[in-house]
């Protein structure tokens, strides 16, 4: 996703996240064992801010 100077809402689903190069590889995310999140970039020297992180659950299509 491109970075800009403006704040914006971004929703990232857990099934879109990937484990990269550290820890014991896991076939799925066990949310019961979740202790923290790390946001990182692969290249360059960046300064970016993340604010108001929240968890969300999508409802099934047609559910209320």
Note whether residue 54 is domain-resident.
yes
What is residue 64's predicted lDDT score, i.e. its pLDDT?
55
pLDDT of residue 14: 76
User: Can you give the pTM of this predicted structure?
Assistant: 0.51
Structural domain count of the chain = 1
pLDDT at site 27: 80
23: nearest Cα among 14, 32, 34, 12: 34
Supply the range of the domain harboring residue 35: 18-58
DSSP for residue 23: S
Copy the structure tokens of residue 33: 């064992």
In a domain, 3, yes or no: no
**At 42, is the secondary structure helix, strand, or coil?**
coil
Residue 25 has a pLDDT of: 78
Rg (CA), the chain: 15
Angle among Cα 34, 40, 42 to the nearest 5 degrees reads 135
Residues of the chain with pLDDT below 70 are 1, 61-64
């Amino acid at each position: 996703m491109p970075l800009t100077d403006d704040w914006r809402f971004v929703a990232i689903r857990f099934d879109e996240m990937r484990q990269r190069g550290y820890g014991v590889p896991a076939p799925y995310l066990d949310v019961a064992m979740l202790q923290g999140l790390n946001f990182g970039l692969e290249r360059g020297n960046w300064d970016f801010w993340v604010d108001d992180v929240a968890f969300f659950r999508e409802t099934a299509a047609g559910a209320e």
